[in-house]
Amino acid sequence: MKMTFPWQGPADPVSLSLISQIPGVHGIAASLPHIAVGEVWPTVDILDLQARAGSHGLPLHVIENLPVHEDIKLGRYTRQSLIDQFITTLTHLAQCGIEVVSYNFTPLSEWSTAVQRRLQPQPTEAACASAVLAGCPLTEQGVPPGCVASQLPAQIEALQNAWYAISPAGLWRNLLFFLQRVVPAAEALGIKLALHADAAEYIRPAVPLALATPEDLLRAITAVNSPANGLALRCGGPAAARPRDLLELVREFGSRQRMHYLHLGEPDAPGGPYDGYAQGVDAAQRRHARWAMQGQVLQACRSVGYQGFVRPGYGLVSQQAVDEIRLGMSERALGAAYFEGLWDGLYQQAATDGKLHP
């Protein structure tokens, strides 16, 4: 497996020079959060991102999040032109040598941090995780890129009302419409699409979800049968909240070669006290059980021969990170160190048992 480190571009408080010093990091998983959702990513911006990372010996082969416009998810009349722009961005990424593109189809996901701040002004660890997972941080004005601060409350309210009128079946139809057009294009370009399951940080009351269960994930992957149509499997969240489900997902999609990106988040320990909205939200008292679970996840990856990209989770979240709603160097580097230690331990155990394989 190849460990990537999340980096949100030049505005990220964690510098590339620091990332390059973390043991085991083979590259970065990045995005272009300054570009408004739905706009085409210019080739020059992608090349600039690669050049910045490459100057520190960090290749860029994974896009952490290519946002899907809310109009596509809602099935509005503008969706076809927005899908065309999404495909144009994929074309630019392929021309730059990008191998894996992660994305999600969760309602309001790109607005999650703004919604969190509006509904709960006091920052929390959940909001901090949400900001990073969304891959679309807020601007200095506290709004998503392309938005006007004074219009934000009305925009959020309008979007939430629009989602209240959509059923889970309607959301699924919109996802299928998207997949049927985007997946063939990605396959032709040689790009692997990694669909992110719904994350607990994005769940809103009365808002539908299309990818909240293991069955939902299998349905999405088999609906358009292509090697380009795969998953960004996150350890945690509704679809992989239970350890049994998580390991079965790794084995199922890993054996199908449809697990294109593995996000070692923070899975719930067996019998954990959190469920519903709190699934996947960090708590310091649960970290040992969670990271013990990571060893089982990595063992499952070895059993199916997974050789793809992996993003580590994060360790203890500092109060400063919570206050600023962003994860700094220590939080992210600690997660990388956890992963490297677990992987080395499994490697040594396999060597001792005589079961070592690439």
The whole-angstrom separation of Cα 28 and Cα 311 is 9
190 burial type by CB count under 10 A (0-12 exposed, 13-18 middle, 19+ buried): exposed
The SS3 assignment for 259 reads strand
Render pLDDT for 186-204 as a digit per residue (tens, 0 to 9): 999 999 999 988 765 556 6
- Could you give the CA distance from residue 249 to residue 330 in angstroms, rounded to a whole number? 30
The mean pLDDT value of the chain amounts to 78
Q: Look up residue 268 and give its DSSP letter.
A: P
Report pLDDT digits (tens) over 87-104.
Answer: 999 999 999 999 999 999
pLDDT digits (tens, 9 = 90+) for 281-339: 445 445 555 656 778 888 888 889 899 999 887 654 444 443 444 456 666 777 777 77
- Mean per-residue pLDDT, 237-261: 81
Closest CA to 258 of 231, 240, 235: 231
Cross-strand pairs, 102? 194
- pTM value? 0.81
Per-residue model confidence (pLDDT) at position 271: 37
Q: What's the one-letter identity of residue 180?
A: Q
Tell me the CATH number for domain 2-353.
3.20.20.150
pLDDT band with cut points at 50, 70 and 90 for residue 83:
very high
C-alpha distances (whole Å) from 300 to each of 221, 231, 346 are 20, 16, 11
Res 18 pLDDT > 50: yes
**Residue matched to tokens 């946002």:** 67
CA distances from 141 to 31, 56, 85, 146, 300 (A): 20, 31, 26, 11, 43
Domain borders along the chain are 2-353
CA 175/CA 180 separation, integer angstroms = 9
Residue 20's alpha-carbon distances to 40, 122, 334, 348, in angstroms, are 29, 34, 14, 25
pLDDT of residue 217: 92
